[in-house]
Amino acid sequence: MLGDIDVLKNKQRVREVLGYLPQEFGVYPRVNAYEMLDHIAVLKGIINAKERKELVLALLERVNLLQHKKKSISGFSGGMKQRFGIAQSLIGNPQLIIVDEPTAGLDPGERNRFYNLLSEIGENVIVILSTHIVQDVKELCPNMAIIDKGKLLFAGEPVKALSDLEGKIWEKSISKSETERYQKEFQLISSKLVSGQPLIHIYSETDPGNGFKKAEADLEDVFFKAISL
C-alpha cells in the first residue's frame, strides 16, 4: 500500500503520485532550465500559466538553481543536472520518488549537496534510492534492501545489518596466488587490492586463526555477504 493506494491493483493511481529521476535523462540542447520545467509541468497537467510560473520558480529555488534559470541545461554540471532532475520529479506533489543512481559521476562537493537535498525531500516524501554506491546508503537511507537478479536478499535497517555481522568479519593480506585456496577453505566474501596485495574479508562466527584479524564490518561487507550465499 502507498497511503490508501493498492500498488498492485491500481497502477494508474500510483503513476499519478510518482516522481522519477533516471540515472541519465535527455534534454533539448537549447532549452533553458525555466522553459524545460515549464514544459514538463504542462505535460503533467498544470495548465494555469500563473500557477505554473509560481511552481517552476519555487522548485528552481528549492534545488538552488534559480540563479541559473535562463541557462541551457546542456551546459549544467553533473550536480546541477541532478538537482534539475529532482526539481522535475517534484512536479505534481508526488507521494513517492524513485531515484536511480543519483550520485554516479558526481564530485565530492556535488555529492554532498545532493545528499542534503535528498535528505530534505525525504522528510515529507517517500524516496526509493537505487544505487550501487555504499556511501549513498550510509548517508541517506534509514532502511535498505539488497536485491540480486530479482531476488530480495535483505530488507531492514543498515544499523541492524551491521550489528548482525559484528565480530564475524575477518581480514587478511595474502598473495595473489593464494586467493583460490582461501576461496575453497573459507567463506570469502570480498577481495580488494591494497598496495598491490589482495586484502580479503571472510565471514566466520568464530576466530578462523591462520593469521586473520578481526575487521570492523561495513555496508560493503553486508552487501557481499548477502550475495555470496
What's the rounded mean pLDDT across residues 33-49? 95
Sign of CA dihedral 175, 177, 183, 184: negative
Dist. CA 204–CA 222, nearest whole Å: 13
CA 74 – CA 30 distance, rounded (Å): 7
Considering the domain boundaries, does residue 156 fall inside one? no
Residue 6 counted as domain residue = no
Give the contacts of 122 (CB within 8 A, at least 6 positions apart): 140
Alpha helical stretches, state H, the chain:
11-16, 33-43, 49-62, 78-89, 108-121, 134-140, 158-165, 179-185, 219-228
Is the same domain home to 215 and 130?
no
Q: Are residues 87 and 134 in the same domain?
A: yes
**Domain contains 92:** yes
**What's the pLDDT tens digit per position in 169-199?**
999 999 999 999 999 999 999 999 999 999 9
Q: Is residue 157 part of a domain?
A: no
Domain boundary residue, one of 84, 107, 141: 141
Give domain status of residue 148, yes or no: no
Whether residue 86 lies inside any domain: the answer is yes
Q: Is 28 found in the same domain as 127?
A: yes
Residue whose C-alpha cell reads 535527455 in the numeric block: 26
Same domain, 82 and 178: no
Model pTM score: 0.85
What is the pLDDT, as a whole number, of residue 82? 92
With cut-offs at 50, 70 and 90, classify the pLDDT of residue 4: confident
Say yes or no to pLDDT of 27 above 90: no
115 and 200 belong to one structural domain: no
Check whether residue 32 and residue 110 sit in a common domain.
Answer: yes
In a domain, 65, yes or no: yes
Question: What's the rounded mean pLDDT across residues 118-123?
Answer: 94
- Find the domain containing 21 and state its range: 11-141
Q: Residues 133, 166: one domain?
A: no
- Which residue, among 172, 178, 181, 170, has the nearest Cα to 203 in the 3D structure? 170
| Domain identity same for 22 and 132 | yes
199 within domain boundaries: yes
Residues linked to residue 100 through DSSP beta bridges, in sequence order: 130
Residue 90 and residue 194 in one domain = no
Torsion of CA 40, 43, 44, 47, to 10 degrees: 100
The enclosing domain of 70 has a CATH number of 3.40.50.300
Number of separate domains in the chain: 2
Of the candidates 141, 175, 203, which is a domain's last residue? 141
Residues 190 and 82 in one domain: no
Q: Are residues 113 and 72 in the same domain?
A: yes
* In a shared domain, residues 27 and 57: yes
140 with 111: CB under 8 angstroms?
Answer: no
pLDDT of residue 24: 85
